[in-house]
Structure 1
Amino acid sequence: MPPRILIDADGCPVVNQTVALAGEFGAECFILCDTSHQIEKPGAKTMVFSKGADSVDFALVNLVKTGDIVVTQDYGLAAMCLARNAKPISQNGMEYTAGNIDSLLLARHTAKKIRSGGGRLKGPKKRTPEQDAAFIEKLTDLLKV
């Protein structure tokens, strides 16, 4: 039986690809979003939560089970999912692991300190077809397990 897929959909550019792959593998797919980003896709169940700081993240962590795949760009959420033995991946196909999550969280903390001190950081670059391909490849690998 394929694992479930939970999508942290706020700001997620790979919802369509995720739902399509879930359908190909017969995996249950859940789109979790808040009231300001309601996303409905055939083949997935949408779950809408109140618009509040981290409301979707906490709901997702309460739903996630061992072996579930979680699509998120949030390092903090990924860390909580790892603690529940889930398999979090980024929208770019990077799998969050015990080996990389600490350095990612430290980088996030450092960036936040720079911004709160008045510093500026460059935003993300425009999404590329290579990132889409890397995501599809990683998600396919995880669904084959």
Structure 2
Amino acid sequence: MKIWVDADACPKPIRETIIKAAERTKIPCTFVANHVIPLPKRLNITMLQVESGFDVADNEIARRVRENDLVITADIPLANDVIEKKAQALSPRGELFTTENIKSRLNIRDFMDTMRSSGVHTGGPAALSQADKRAFAGHLDRILSKYGQNNKQ
């Protein structure tokens, strides 16, 4: 397992949670962004800086992700690509994307995109809440614990 982080829009508190988890579990973790992200110097925590541009980081993650990897992203199309590769996708708000929910999430995203392009102001996402942070940390811990248990067998 490797953890991939779509780091361009990853909130700092979530990034800190990921770093702590990677340090604790020693699982390789790569933050992918088009700008430098300050990270601690650890052998298993790396930064992959990509060129600026629409979906460049997402495309790089989709290209590199392998079965059983974990991708942290709020990007629904990237989450769909990840699931199709039999990897896991978790949003920074703690939503675990699955084969059961990803198609409806894509439909909602496409509908909202259509609304915005027709001039309807849909607003942005709400601020990251304590409940979001707890949901994320809980899902991350369960995924990494399950990986650790499976790895021992």
TM-score, normalising length: structure 2 = 0.89
Report SS of the residue matched to 2:104.
helix
Shift of 1:128: 1.1
Question: Superposition pairs for residues 70-89 of structure 1, below 5 Å?
Answer: 70-89=71-90
Tell me which residue corresponds to 2:26. 26
Tell me which residue corresponds to 2:39. 41
Whole-Å Cα distance in 1 between the matches of residues 91 and 128 of structure 2? 13
**Number of residue-to-residue matches in the alignment:** 141
Segments of 5+ residues of structure 1 without an aligned counterpart are none
Tell me which residue corresponds to 1:130. 131
Tell me which residue corresponds to 2:65. 64
Tell me which residue corresponds to 1:4. 2
Tell me which residue corresponds to 2:151. none
The root-mean-square deviation of aligned C-alpha atoms, in Å, is 0.9
Tell me which residue corresponds to 1:121. 122
AA aligned to 1:110 is F
Whole-Å Cα distance in 2 between the matches of residues 90 and 143 of structure 1? 15
AA aligned to 2:124 is G
Segments of 5+ residues of structure 2 without an aligned counterpart are 147-153
Whole-Å Cα distance in 1 between the matches of residues 127 and 38 of structure 2? 24
Report SS of the residue matched to 2:8.
coil
TM-score, normalising length: structure 1 = 0.94
Report SS of the residue matched to 2:9.
coil
AA aligned to 1:114 is M
Shift of 1:46: 0.1
Tell me which residue corresponds to 2:108. 107
AA aligned to 1:5 is I
Shift of 1:122: 2.3
Tell me which residue corresponds to 2:149. none
Whole-Å Cα distance in 2 between the matches of residues 117 and 38 of structure 1? 35
**Structure 1 segments (4+ residues) deviating >4 Å:** none
AA aligned to 1:75 is I
Whole-Å Cα distance in 2 between the matches of residues 31 and 40 of structure 1? 10
Whole-Å Cα distance in 2 between the matches of residues 84 and 26 of structure 1? 23
Higher RCO by CA contacts (8 Å cutoff, separation 6 or greater) = 1
Percent identity of the aligned residues?
28
Report SS of the residue matched to 2:97.
coil
Report SS of the residue matched to 2:49.
strand
